[in-house]
Every structure is written in structure tokens, then in C-alpha cells.
Amino acid sequence: MDPLINNLDIFVPAFRNTIILFVVSGVAALILGTVVGGMRVSPVPIMRGVGTVYVNFIRNTPLTLLMFFFAFGYPKLELGNLSYMTLAIIALSLYTATYVAEVIRSGFNTVPVGQAEAARAIGLPFGQTMSLVILPQAFRAVIPPLMSVFIALLKNTTVAAGFSVFEAGAIRAYLSERGEPAIVVLLWVAAIFVVLVTVLSLVQRRLENKWRVAR
């Protein structure tokens, strides 16, 4: 227990930043990804095109490269100062949103086409057909794959350590300066990640129960 207890001054703020990265990027990715997923099934060809290009371009770029672009490329654009933390959040959000978009799009396909037709037939426009009828049913089907995306996001936050963001991925480097054995520190970091993922699984189960749709 000692390597953890003796270094809480590192563990606590590092994981706090990890959780901030995760929650803020997660919410942003969920919103952006849902919009992009909607664009990809939109009746308007331009929307579909933009959505497809965005997903294919960003999703096929390694996260490290994307982070690299934001951490070193963005400051050169001189658009105003953003902290590395903020830049990491932007990169993580843009990256994760592409996965969310694909999951949401596959979720749309689980909703019978008659649901959208019935919604259109009573005069709901595209946006409301999506938000009131399709999405609430699609979300139910996408909770498990969406959780995989969020678990990946949680782990991806550690990439930010390579770009001067102080989070869980940076703990080992800080503690080796204090002479802690790397392997023990890494096991502790891993254990805390397991706890966080377990929390996510509990959230998943609750959401699944809440959004059950009987057919």
C-alpha cells in the first residue's frame, strides 16, 4: 500500500486530471458523435458527405498524431493560448466522436424503419424524428458498444501524458524520480483504472435497465 499512500500528492491530482479529461472529452464526443452519426444518415447529401469525410479522416489518424498536431501545430497557428489540457481534450473529443458516430449509426439500423416512417407520417421533421423517436430507441441498443468506446477513451487519456499533461499516464515518471519501483507504481495505476472501468460498467447496467424497449 505504501507506494500509493506515500504519494497521494501525485496520485490524487493526476487521476483528478484523468477524470476531467475523460468526462469533458466523453460528453463532447457524445454530443459531437451523435450529431455526426445523424449527419451520416441525413437525407441531405452534403451533410452525409461531411460526416463521412470527418469520420474516415479522423478515425484513420493515430491518436498520438492528432495530439501531436494539437500540442505542437496549434500554437503555431497563433489563435490564442490554450493549455495543453484543453488541447488534449479537443483532440480526444474529435477522435472519440468518430467512434461514437459509428456506434450511433449502427444503432440507427437496429430501429425498425417503420418507426421513422410513422414519425414522418405524423409530420415530424427530420430533426425531431431523430431526437424524439429514433435516438431514444437507438441509444438503448448502443449502450454496450458505446461503453467500449468510453473505456477506450478512459485509457486513451494516458496518451496526453506524452504532451505535458499531468495525468495518470505521467505518474510513473514522477514517482521514479522519488525512487519508487516502476512496476509497483504501474500496478497501482492499473488497479485504479480497473476500479474506474468497473464504475463505468455499473453505469452501463443501470442505463440498460432504464432504457429497455420492449418489442
Partner 1 sequence: MTSSFETTSNPIHAAHGEPLVVLENVEKHYGDFHALKNINMTVNKGEVVVVIGPSGSGKSTLCRTINRLETITSGEIRIDGKALPKEGKALAALRADVGMVFQSFNLFAHKTILENVTLGPIKVRRRAKAEAEKDARALLERVGVAVQADKMPAQLSGGQQQRVAIARSLAMKPKVMLFDEPTSALDPEMINEVLDVMVHLAAEGMTMIVVTHEMGFARKAADRVVFMADGEIVEEAAPEEFFSNPKSDRAKDFLSKLLTH
If one asks whether residue 40 binds partner 1 (CB under 8 A), the answer comes out as: no
If one asks whether residue 43 binds partner 1 (CB under 8 A), the answer comes out as: yes
Judged by CB under 8 A, the stretch of 5-13, 16-24, 124-132, 151-159 that binds partner 1 is 124-132
- From the list 6, 56, 110, 128, which residue makes contact with partner 1 (rule: CB under 8 A)? 128
Closest residue by Cα to residue 20 from 123, 121, 92, 127: 92
The number of residues that bind partner 1 (CB under 8 A) is: 23
Left (φ > 0), alpha (ψ -120 to 50) or beta: where does 79 sit? alpha
d(C-alpha 121, C-alpha 111), whole Å: 16
Write the CA distances from 70 to 81, 133, 160, 208, integer angstroms. 12, 37, 11, 36
Tell me how far, at minimum, the Cβ of 31 lies from partner 1, in Å: 21
- From the list 73, 136, 144, 181, which residue makes contact with partner 1 (rule: CB under 8 A)? 136
Q: How buried is 80 (Cβ within 10 angstroms: 0-12 exposed, 13-18 middle, 19+ buried)?
A: exposed
Binding string, 89-108, against partner 1, x = CB under 8 A?
A: --------------------
If one asks whether residue 110 binds partner 1 (CB under 8 A), the answer comes out as: no
Chain centroid to Cα 202, Å, comes to: 17
If one asks whether residue 120 binds partner 1 (CB under 8 A), the answer comes out as: yes
What residues make contact with partner 1 under the rule CB under 8 A? Answer: 43, 112, 114-115, 117-125, 128, 132-133, 136-137, 140, 211, 213-215
